[in-house]
Amino acid sequence: MSSTQSAESCGPHVVVVGNHKGGSGKSTVAMHLIVALLKSGKRIASFDLDVQQRTLTHYIEYRQAWARQNNPALEVPRHFCAAEAGWDDATRSEADNVLLFINSLEALREDYDFIVIDTPGSDDRLSRIAHGMADTLVTPINDSFVDLDLIITVGAFAGTERTLSRYAAAVWAALDGRRAIGGRPTDWIVFRNRLSPPASRNNRQIGEVLRLIAPEVGFRTAPGLSERVVFREFFPIGLTAFDPLNWPVLGITPTMSHLMARVEIRKLIDEIGLLP
């Protein structure tokens, strides 16, 4: 059964973008997933669980402002921000905050095809709950052994026993809880962000380690994204590589780098497999 079929038959397909490290590109990937799905005609709701940074929320707000100022037709999801919704209200119990979040998700069951959830670069209760709801879990890691250590102890490859790092252990716990209550299986995808040059030793080593540990940790890999300034340029105007790459929309003359960013992100989303 395809992801789209699963979403249509069992309620919204939940996509979670997560890891426990900030600066890995989670919000950029979440926004591109959202826009790709919107442009395919899907009904999308999005959640920003990062009550401190709110990067996805700001990205969507900038997109709405750019559309108002420049008049392009830019698709936007129905968006919810944890901080604005009060799911982190210190005057309520943690259990009550979690219940409010779950009820908000449940209220969208009949009206949306996909729910995309951006999580914070830290471990908290809402993030763990979201991971346990994921039909698809997307984990970007920067192309370095520091970030790889987020999933499995890198020092283990020097001869010591390999152990799951904190984030991978949290994912396993969330997925075990999901299976225990009869949830659908989760497709966990890990991809590398800000790729080092293909010929570099770092690129080869990290690629080899990911291929080695993927079966035992329980994820699959997808094509990575290069370090491209255009991804940072898109953010303050709320645009993505899937938007029209022309002067009226971009406000600048598009370059080959814009085109290559589109090619790379499209390959990534094709491999994630949410669209036919």
Give the start-to-end residue ranges of the domains of the chain: 3-271
Model pTM score:
0.90
Lowest mean pLDDT among 17-26, 132-141, 145-154, 164-173: 145-154
Quick: pLDDT tens for 51-80. 899 999 999 999 999 999 887 789 999 999
User: How many CA within 13 A on the CB side of residue 68?
Assistant: 6
Give the model's pLDDT for residue 142.
92
Topology of 3-271 in CATH? Rossmann fold (3.40.50)
For 235, phi then psi, to 5°, come to -55, -55
Report how far residue 118's alpha carbon sits from residue 104's, in angstroms, rounded to the nearest whole number. 15
pLDDT digits (tens, 9 = 90+) for 204-227: 888 888 998 999 899 999 999 998
8 A C-beta contact, residue 221 and residue 189? yes
Beta bridge partners of 14: 115
